[in-house]
């Protein structure tokens, strides 16, 4: 154990002062506006800093640093290497103009590259009017640890633009997206081998297609240009299964965590998914697919919370029907015989086996942690449980499947999309028919030898050759299961590691630290 208390203190001292710095002065803001250039700025932290002060929660970035420090105490690397893993390498703050009708509005955005130990760096882009620099830094750091946990060979990054896209016409959202992309291109912080964005809160396939198009437009002849962004529509170089991958990955994580008596014991549950009662917060991309997969896997979805409130039915809700109901009425409330829970976060406190917060950060905090009754919290969102809440929950014996593992399915499928783009071929395209021919010969022979004919559906199932979605699903399942046991091994083999988040951080610190030790420090 090379890193002692002393090294933790050293790290704390050198801890990114950014998360504690104040909002920049007017002069600095004015200067960057006047010059129209990106600056390494500490701007945008005012809101999250204020929120932290009011709620006595550390800022999101500070929270991630705290988790890092807790795990680093069990890691065997020199302090300087640990400091380097923990630091945010580049923080770009960008202000850019966008024409809206007859006026111009200046938008603020960030791209943060947390770690360059592997390239490209990778991470989504968040569009929300409440995005702050602290948040983007925290999310970028989490991407580093997330990629390491699931063996995706990328560094971590994240982007954000302060924009509530719902308030604007589509053409404005398109101009914001394209101009933000252009600002990244100008700074050489986007590209297949540099930094590869993806969707996050407030963005999706549509925005990713605009980013790809903008990048391609100014990169003539660059054959790998499409790999500059993932989460694109399938028709534009996206990959089948990416859209549902975060929720599907969370399902694999929960399923594995309850797969055996030994695994399930940590959560105080019997093994298996059958009949487990689940409450989901957020019916967006992550929540919807997590809920659907968990329902298909045999659990009962007894509660769903959304922005407008929650619905509860102890006999189970049909996820697809709730989704349709929301599309038709604009709200999940008043769904069949389900009970309306007007205060949306109240539902998090209802009795259930598995709670899946799949909306935004800080949803389980010091205000409600003592009232949470779930036996397992599977973190679909990034940072849904605050640092203070985590302490309370662990004391109460409630364990979490941490976000840096539980929602890593998205970036895993993004990695497959990136591979597809640089290979310029769809997985399965070359081998599928050959595989089917072989399978057909085997099935024919078995039928001949046994004198038994398979039903047409069984026959089709046996013969089917793997296609793109099969490969993505298989790769995702393999990734989530392997990562689960890496985390659990770290947890079980170190009696001082008391929870899965610390174990997950420890696993990633070990991988990233090894990478720095082997590569050396340039020059
Ligand atoms: N935004 C997603 C995340 O937080 C996906 C990132 C990616 O695919 O690069 O994991």
End-to-end, the C-alpha distance of the chain in Å comes to 27
H/E run at residue 158: strand 155-161
What is the spatial distance between Cα 386 and Cα 502, in angstroms, rounded to a whole number? Answer: 14
Q: What is the pLDDT of residue 1?
A: 36
Distance 90 CA to ligand 1 centre (A): 18
- Atom 8 of ligand 1 has which residue's CA nearest to it? 411
Residue of 414, 419, 420, 504 to test ligand 1 pocket, by largest number of atoms within 8 Å of CB: 414
CA angle 89, 150, 118 (to 5 degrees): 35
Q: How many alpha carbons fall within 13 Å on the CB side of residue 352?
A: 30
Distance 144 CA to ligand 1 centre (A): 11
Q: What is the pLDDT of residue 55?
A: 60
Q: 149: Cβ below 6 Å to ligand 1?
A: no
Q: 198: Cβ below 6 Å to ligand 1?
A: yes
- Can you tell me which atom of ligand 1 is nearest the CA of 122? 9
Q: 242: Cβ below 6 Å to ligand 1?
A: no
What is the spatial distance between Cα 384 and Cα 387, in angstroms, rounded to a whole number? Answer: 10
Q: Closest Cα to residue 408, out of 205, 229, 145, 231? A: 145
Residue of 246, 286, 381, 416 to test ligand 1 pocket, by largest number of atoms within 8 Å of CB: 246
Q: 200: Cβ below 6 Å to ligand 1?
A: yes
Is 158 labeled as catalytic in the residue annotation?
yes
Residue 398 backbone zone (phi > 0: left; psi -120 to 50: alpha; other: beta): beta
Structural domains of the chain sorted by starting position, each given as residue range(s) with its CATH number in brackets: 2-84 (no CATH), 88-236 (3.40.50.10860), 245-409 (3.40.50.720), 410-498 (no CATH)
Q: 410: Cβ below 6 Å to ligand 1?
A: yes
Q: Secondary structure of 170-237 in the HEC alphabet? A: HHHHHHHHHHHHHHHHHCCCCECCCEEEEECCCCCHHHHHHHHHHHHHCCCCCCCHHHHCCCCCHHHC
Query: Checking DSSP bridges between strand 376-378 and strand 354-357, what pairing results, if any?
Result: parallel
- How is residue 205 written in tokens? 């396939």
- Backbone angles phi and psi of 156, in degrees to 5: -100, 145
Distance 55 CA to ligand 1 centre (A): 28
Q: Which of 158, 232, 276, 292 is catalytic?
A: 158
- Write the DSSP symbol of residue 23: P
Q: 414: Cβ below 6 Å to ligand 1?
A: yes
Distance 198 CA to ligand 1 centre (A): 6
Q: What is the pLDDT of residue 344?
A: 84
Q: Which residues contact 20 (CB under 8 A, 6 or more apart)?
A: 49, 59, 62
Q: 303: Cβ below 6 Å to ligand 1?
A: no
Per-residue pLDDT of the chain (523 residues; tens, 9 = 90+): 334 444 444 454 443 333 323 323 333 333 333 333 333 333 334 444 444 444 678 999 999 999 999 999 999 999 999 999 999 999 999 999 999 999 999 999 999 999 999 999 999 999 999 999 999 999 999 999 999 999 999 999 999 999 999 999 999 999 999 999 999 999 999 999 999 999 999 999 999 999 999 999 999 999 999 999 999 999 999 999 999 999 999 999 999 999 999 999 999 999 999 999 999 999 999 999 999 999 999 999 999 999 999 999 999 999 999 999 999 999 999 999 999 999 989 999 999 999 999 999 999 999 999 999 999 999 999 999 999 999 999 999 999 999 999 999 999 999 999 999 999 999 999 999 999 999 999 999 999 999 999 999 999 999 999 999 999 999 999 999 999 999 999 999 999 999 999 999 999 999 999 999 999 999 9
- How is residue 151 written in tokens? 């063996």
String of DSSP letters for 88-153: --EEEEEEEEEEETTEEEEEEEEEEE---SSSSEEEEEEE-TT--HHHHHHHHHHHHHHHHHTT--
- Can you tell me which atom of ligand 1 is nearest the CA of 123? 9
Q: 237: Cβ below 6 Å to ligand 1?
A: no
String of DSSP letters for 310-326: EEE-TT---HHHHHHHH
What is the spatial distance between Cα 29 and Cα 44, in angstroms, rounded to a whole number? Answer: 11
- How is residue 466 written in tokens? 């793997």
- Sign of the four-CA dihedral 432, 435, 436, 437: positive
Q: 230: Cβ below 6 Å to ligand 1?
A: yes
Q: What is the pLDDT of residue 45?
A: 42
Q: What is the pLDDT of residue 56?
A: 78
Distance 446 CA to ligand 1 centre (A): 45
Q: Closest Cα to residue 121, out of 102, 148, 95, 149? A: 148
What is the spatial distance between Cα 154 and Cα 128, in angstroms, rounded to a whole number? Answer: 25
- Sign of the four-CA dihedral 332, 333, 336, 341: positive
Distance 106 CA to ligand 1 centre (A): 26
């Amino acid at each position: 154990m090379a890193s002692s208390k002393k090294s933790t203190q050293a790290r704390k001292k050198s801890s990114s002062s950014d998360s504690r710095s104040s909002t920049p002065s007017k002069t600095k803001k004015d200067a960057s506006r006047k010059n129209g250039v990106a600056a390494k700025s500490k701007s945008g932290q005012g809101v999250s800093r204020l929120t932290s002060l009011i709620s006595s929660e550390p800022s999101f970035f500070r929270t991630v640093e705290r988790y890092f420090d807790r795990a680093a105490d069990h890691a065997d690397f020199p302090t300087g290497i640990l400091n380097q893993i923990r630091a945010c390498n580049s923080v770009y703050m960008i202000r850019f103009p966008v024409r809206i009708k007859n006026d111009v509005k200046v938008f603020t955005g960030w791209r943060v590259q947390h770690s360059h130990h592997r390239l490209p760096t990778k991470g989504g882009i968040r569009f929300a009017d409440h995005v702050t620099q602290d948040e983007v830094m925290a999310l970028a750091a989490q991407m580093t640890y997330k990629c390491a946990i699931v063996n995706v060979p990328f560094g971590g990054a994240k982007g954000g633009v302060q924009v509530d896209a719902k308030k604007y016409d589509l053409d404005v959202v398109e101009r914001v997206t394209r101009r933000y992309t252009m600002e990244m291109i100008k700074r050489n912080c986007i590209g297949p081998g540099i930094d590869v964005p993806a969707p996050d809160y407030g963005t999706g396939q549509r925005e990713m297609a605009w980013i790809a198009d903008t990048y391609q437009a100014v990169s003539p002849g660059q054959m790998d240009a499409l790999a500059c962004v993932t989460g694109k529509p399938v028709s534009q170089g996206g990959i089948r299964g990416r859209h549902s991958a975060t929720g599907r990955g969370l399902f694999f994580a929960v399923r594995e965590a309850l797969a055996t008596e030994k695994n399930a014991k940590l959560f105080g549950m019997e093994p298996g998914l059958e009949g487990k009662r689940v409450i989901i917060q957020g019916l967006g991309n992550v929540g919807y697919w997590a809920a659907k997969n968990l329902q298909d896997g045999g659990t009962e979805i007894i509660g769903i919370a959304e922005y407008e409130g929650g619905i509860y039915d102890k006999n189970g809700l049909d996820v697809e029907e709730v989704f349709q109901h929301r599309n038709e009425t604009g709200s999940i409330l008043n769904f069949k015989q389900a009970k309306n829970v007007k205060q949306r976060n109240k539902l998090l406190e209802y009795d259930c086996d598995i709670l899946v917060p799949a909306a935004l950060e800080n949803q389980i905090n010091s205000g409600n942690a003592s009232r949470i009754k779930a036996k397992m919290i599977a973190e679909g969102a990034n940072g849904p449980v605050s640092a203070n809440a985590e302490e309370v929950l662990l004391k109460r014996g409630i364990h979490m499947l941490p976000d840096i593992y539980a929602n890593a399915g998205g970036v895993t499928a993004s990695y497959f999309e990136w591979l597809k783009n640089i290979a310029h071929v769809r997985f399965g395209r070359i081998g599928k028919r050959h595989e089917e021919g072989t399978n057909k010969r085997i099935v024919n022979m078995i039928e001949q030898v046994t004198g038994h004919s398979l039903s047409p559906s069984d026959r089709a199932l046996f013969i089917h050759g793997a296609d793109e979605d099969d490969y993505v699903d298989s790769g995702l399942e393999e990734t989530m299961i392997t990562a689960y046991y890496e985390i659990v091994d770290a947890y079980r083999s170190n009696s001082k590691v008391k929870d899965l988040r610390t174990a997950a951080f420890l696993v990633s610190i070990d991988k990233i630290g090894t990478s720095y030790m082997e590569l050396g420090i340039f020059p």
